[in-house]
């Protein structure tokens, strides 16, 4: 859930966002971020820091460029938060009481494998399948249309399948806890599990919105590119990578317009797929998971000078 519509200089109009990580939640404010993770021993470990000027400076106000920055920010901050959470969530002790750290190479190796999988399944896979149809003399428009449908189907199927895994289901529960905590804060409620439980696990500003809009813009862009630019399979594959930044830029501007006119019935209808997709990417959390989300949120408020310390373990 990227905090992507903030004006960092306007405290009265502050939106918070974040994402779920392994056994924890990352919350991002206008100028700070915090990650709270449940340690295997049961306590909550919190890390907070100021954001780089890259994420808060003037470039964030330039149309189109800010969309590319949001994409990079989502990847960079998300990866750092995941790295931190993996070290805490899997921390164990040896017989002499010394901690055993989660190997850095294991984390980055997993990230590399995940990247290869995503590129293969969501980019190259649909193109190769569609290319087989092209060799069967299918019409060009039909081939591109099939590729578009395959890519969207792969994405939804992937989300559904990983949601069946117990560990990922817990991540989805923390995702729900993040949304519910932000809902409670935005409605002026006390940040306690009892109050947070009153709110839905879906949120209109969820990062799923950005991801979904990126996917839809990409589908249209790739469709038009393939219909009007016929330069062979290699060019088609490369276009899926080269066109990602401009696609993200356009998607972000669409998301901003949606937020600006969110009270419009037609705009709300456009974002219904976002809420429906969150039925897959969020689950109802338990109180312990809500406590972690609250700890992360309060850490951001504290480091921003808006709230006193929570008593969680700081690192």
- % helix, strand, coil for the chain, step of 5: 65, 10, 30
Distances (CA, A) of 262 to 205, 265, 277: 10, 8, 18
- Taking residue 240's Cβ as centre, other Cβ atoms within 10 Å add up to 20
- What lies within 8 Å, CB to CB, of 13 at 6+ separation is 6, 7
**Least confident segment among 25-34, 83-92, 104-113, 273-282:** 104-113
Task: Dump pLDDT digits (tens) for 259-315.
Answer: 778 778 887 887 788 888 899 999 999 999 999 999 999 999 999 887 644 444 433
Residue 11 has pLDDT above 60, yes or no: no
Distance of CA 218 to the CA centre of its chain: 17
**Least confident segment among 15-19, 132-136, 290-294:** 132-136
In the prediction, which pLDDT does 173 show? 97
Task: Dump pLDDT digits (tens) for 102-123.
Answer: 555 655 566 666 677 776 777 7
**Per-residue buried b or exposed e for 297-308, using 16+ beta carbons within 10 Å of the residue's own CB:** bbbbbbbbeeee
Most confident of 60-64, 143-147, 154-158, 289-293: 289-293
The encoded tokens of residue 39 equal 């340690």
Average of per-residue pLDDT across 167-176: 95
In angstroms, the CA 283 to CA 286 distance is 10
The larger pLDDT score, comparing residue 186 to residue 126, is at 186
In the prediction, which pLDDT does 94 show? 43
Average of per-residue pLDDT across 146-171: 88
Residue 37: phi and psi, rounded to 5, are -135, 140
Average of per-residue pLDDT across 148-169: 88
Q: Is the dihedral of CA 69, 72, 77, 78 positive or negative?
A: positive
Of 224, 308, 295, the C-alpha closest to 46 is 295
> H or E stretch including 43?
none
Angle value at C-alpha 193, between 187 and 195, nearest 5 degrees = 35
In the prediction, which pLDDT does 298 show? 95
The encoded tokens of residue 260 equal 């600006």
Task: Dump pLDDT digits (tens) for 195-244.
Answer: 999 999 998 778 777 778 888 888 888 888 877 877 777 888 788 888 88
Domain coordinates of the chain in residue numbers?
Answer: 11-314
Distances (CA, A) of 212 to 23, 238, 247, 270: 25, 22, 12, 11
In the prediction, which pLDDT does 216 show? 84
The encoded tokens of residue 129 equal 């399948």
Residue 7 has pLDDT above 50, yes or no: no
**How large a percentage of the chain has pLDDT more than 70?**
83
Distances (CA, A) of 227 to 20, 125, 174, 288: 38, 19, 42, 51
The larger pLDDT score, comparing residue 2 to residue 144, is at 144
In the prediction, which pLDDT does 130 show? 79
The larger pLDDT score, comparing residue 210 to residue 171, is at 171
Strand 44-50, strand 313-314: pairing: parallel
Residue 6 has pLDDT above 50, yes or no: no
Start-to-end CA span in the chain (Å): 24
């Amino acid at each position: 859930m990227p905090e992507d519509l903030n004006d960092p200089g306007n405290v009265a109009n502050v939106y918070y966002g974040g994402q779920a990580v392994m056994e924890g939640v990352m919350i991002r404010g206008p100028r700070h971020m915090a990650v709270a993770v449940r340690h295997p021993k049961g306590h909550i470990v919190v890390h907070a820091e100021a954001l780089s000027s890259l994420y808060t400076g003037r470039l964030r106000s330039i149309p189109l460029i800010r969309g590319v920055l949001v994409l990079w920010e989502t990847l960079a901050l998300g990866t750092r938060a995941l790295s931190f959470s993996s070290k805490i969530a899997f921390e164990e002790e040896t017989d002499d009481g010394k901690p055993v750290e989660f190997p850095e190479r294991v984390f980055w190796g997993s990230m590399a494998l995940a990247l290869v999988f995503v590129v293969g399944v969501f980019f190259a896979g649909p193109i190769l399948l569609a290319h087989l149809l092209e060799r069967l003399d299918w019409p060009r428009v039909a081939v591109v249309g099939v590729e578009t449908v395959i890519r969207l189907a792969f994405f939804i199927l992937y989300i559904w399948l990983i949601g069946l895994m117990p560990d990922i289901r817990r991540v989805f529960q923390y995702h729900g806890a993040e949304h519910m905590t932000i809902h409670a804060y935005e409605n002026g409620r006390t940040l306690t599990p009892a109050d947070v439980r009153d709110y839905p696990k879906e949120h209109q500003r969820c990062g799923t919105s950005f991801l979904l809009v990126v996917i839809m813009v990409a589908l249209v862009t790739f469709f038009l590119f393939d219909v009007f630019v016929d330069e062979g399979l290699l060019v088609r594959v490369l276009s899926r990578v080269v066109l990602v930044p401009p696609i993200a830029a356009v998607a972000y501007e669409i998301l901003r317009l949606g937020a600006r006119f969110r009270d419009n019935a037609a705009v709300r209808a456009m974002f219904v797929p976002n809420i429906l997709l969150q039925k897959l990417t969020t689950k109802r959390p338990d109180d312990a998971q809500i406590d972690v989300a609250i700890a992360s949120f309060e850490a951001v408020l504290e480091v921003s000078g808006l709230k006193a310390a929570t008593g969680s373990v700081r690192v």
